[in-house]
Amino acid sequence: MAKRLAILQSNYIPWKGYFDLINYVDEFILYDTAQFTKNDWRNRNKIKTPRGVEWLTIPVRHHFGQLIQETQISDVGWTRKHWGSLSQNYAKAAHFRDYETQFEALYTGLAEEKFLSAINHRCLTELCRTLGIQTKITWSRDYRLADGQTEPLVDLCRQTGATEYISGPAAKDYIVPQIFEQAGIKLTYINYEGYPSYRQLFGPFEHGVSALDLIFNEGPEAPKFMKSFLGIPPDAAFTGGV
């Protein structure tokens, strides 16, 4: 039986393409046994504001060589600040009021979390639930990890019984396709080109913002702006309207 797998490091309130990838696969592994990288998507993401695109960043303690799963929060007041920014900037979005109670409760609960991985996981599962994504989400620490760059991905495919691995396009820089071929596992790169615009506040349209932007602006229609819900193959560009 065919099974698709994707593996990515956890991100904070990721953009819509991240969730498109999750929805394409049968299992999604959070690779938080990887090294934490500063000024990256692990602890920050973008939102739209009247002043343009701005970052929401979770303050963390950082030392050289620490893993994502070891990364701890340095200021417990971040949840209040982030929710305040989201509620202020999206108050006039068409569907913000529909989700206000839900996400305010999420941010209130996140104040109890000390580790970045746990925060990202809670945000991820809440956004998946909102978008109707039912993919199984697991952790790399739940599996045996091989050495190398491509080898761990192939080995995780073997351990999960995956017959196809769907990767983000940036991984082309380091993945060795022959290793997948030798293992008899299909390798597919997701294509993020051609996403349509949707209703969005504040000036020029911006695709590369948190998926909360799509949810607050389009509400129940949000999945129509993601390829995986429309039956478009992962390696094909989004063409046509919605």
Number of domains composing the chain: 1
Q: What is the mean pLDDT of residues 31-52?
A: 95
What does the pLDDT look like over 127-167, one tens digit per residue? 999 999 999 999 999 999 988 889 999 999 999 999 999 99
* Locus of tokens 């393409």: 17
Q: Give the model's pLDDT for residue 148.
A: 86
Question: Which helix (H) or strand (E) element contains residue 211?
Answer: helix 211-218
3-state secondary structure of 39: coil
Residue 172: give the domain boundaries. Answer: 4-230
Q: Is residue 97 part of a domain?
A: yes
- Cβ-count burial 195-213 (b if 16+ within 10 Å, e if not): beebebbbeeebbebbbbb
Amino acid present at 82: H
Q: Give the model's pLDDT for residue 239.
A: 83
Q: What is the mean pLDDT of residues 92-118?
A: 98
State the Cα–Cα distance between residues 98 and 157, nearest whole angstrom: 39
Task: Say what the pTM is.
Answer: 0.95
- pLDDT over threshold 90, residue 241: no
- pLDDT over threshold 90, residue 1: no
Q: Determine contact, residues 7/154, Cβ cutoff 8 Å.
A: no
Alpha helices for 45-115 (secondary structure H): 78-89, 96-110
Q: What is the mean pLDDT of residues 40-65?
A: 96
Q: Is residue 224 part of a domain?
A: yes
| Of residues 30, 3, 31, the one with CA closest to residue 185 | 3
State the Cα–Cα distance between residues 133 and 234, nearest whole angstrom: 16
Q: What is the mean pLDDT of residues 97-120?
A: 98
Amino acid present at 242: V
Q: Is residue 152 part of a domain?
A: yes
Q: Give the model's pLDDT for residue 242.
A: 65
Task: Classify residue 100 by burial, with Cβ atoms within 10 Å: 0-12, 13-18, 19+.
Answer: middle
What does the pLDDT look like over 195-236, one tens digit per residue? 999 999 999 999 999 999 999 999 999 999 999 999 999 999
Sign of CA dihedral 63, 72, 59, 200: positive
State the Cα–Cα distance between residues 138 and 117, nearest whole angstrom: 12
Q: Give the model's pLDDT for residue 240.
A: 66
For residue 209, what are the CA distances in angstroms to 5, 12, 18?
Answer: 25, 11, 11
Q: Is residue 35 part of a domain?
A: yes
Q: Is residue 215 part of a domain?
A: yes
Q: Is residue 78 part of a domain?
A: yes
What does the pLDDT look like over 56-104, one tens digit per residue? 999 999 888 999 999 999 999 999 999 999 999 999 999 999 999 999 9
- pLDDT over threshold 80, residue 174: yes
State the Cα–Cα distance between residues 152 and 97, nearest whole angstrom: 43
pLDDT band at 55 (very low <50, low <70, confident <90, very high): very high
Q: Is residue 235 part of a domain?
A: no
